Amino acid sequence: MSDEYHVGDRVQVYLNPDWFDGIIVRIEPYSDHRSFHWVELDDVAQAVLNVKQISVFNPKNIRKV
């Protein structure tokens, strides 16, 4: 993963076919090279997806804003 993420970072999460805004609220290490990034979605994304938080494992599906 090229970017280093921290709790509180504003990010976008890719959920086919759109990117949704949110904030990292928790990071759970999985291995030396990967982690689960828990993102609390913004109000608009929550309304569209009907979910408050999502876990992102694939680094291709998260980017800093």
Q: Which pLDDT score, from 0 to 100, does residue 3 have?
A: 76
Q: Does any domain span residue 4?
A: no
Number of domains comprising the chain: 1
Q: Note whether residue 1 is domain-resident.
A: no
Beginning with the edge strand found earlier in the chain, give each strand of the sheet holding 35-41 in spatial order.
53-56, 35-41, 18-29, 10-15, 62-64
Instruction: Read off the pTM.
Output: 0.90
Q: Is residue 56 part of a domain?
A: yes
How far apart are alpha carbons 7 and 32 in whole angstroms? 18
Report the pLDDT value the prediction gives residue 1, as an integer from 0 to 100: 44
- Confirm whether 55 is domain-assigned: yes
The reported pLDDT for the residue numbered 57 is 96
In a domain, 31, yes or no: yes
Q: pLDDT digit string (tens) for 8-62?
A: 999 999 999 999 999 999 999 999 989 999 999 999 999 999 999 999 999 999 9
The residue type of 23 is I
Q: Using CA of residue 20, residue 42, residue 62, residue 37, what is the dihedral sign?
A: negative
If we measure between CA atoms, which residue out of 40, 57, 54 comes closest to residue 1?
Answer: 57
The residue segments making up the domain with residue 25 are 10-64
Residue 3 lies in a domain: no
User: In the prediction, which pLDDT does 2 show?
Assistant: 54
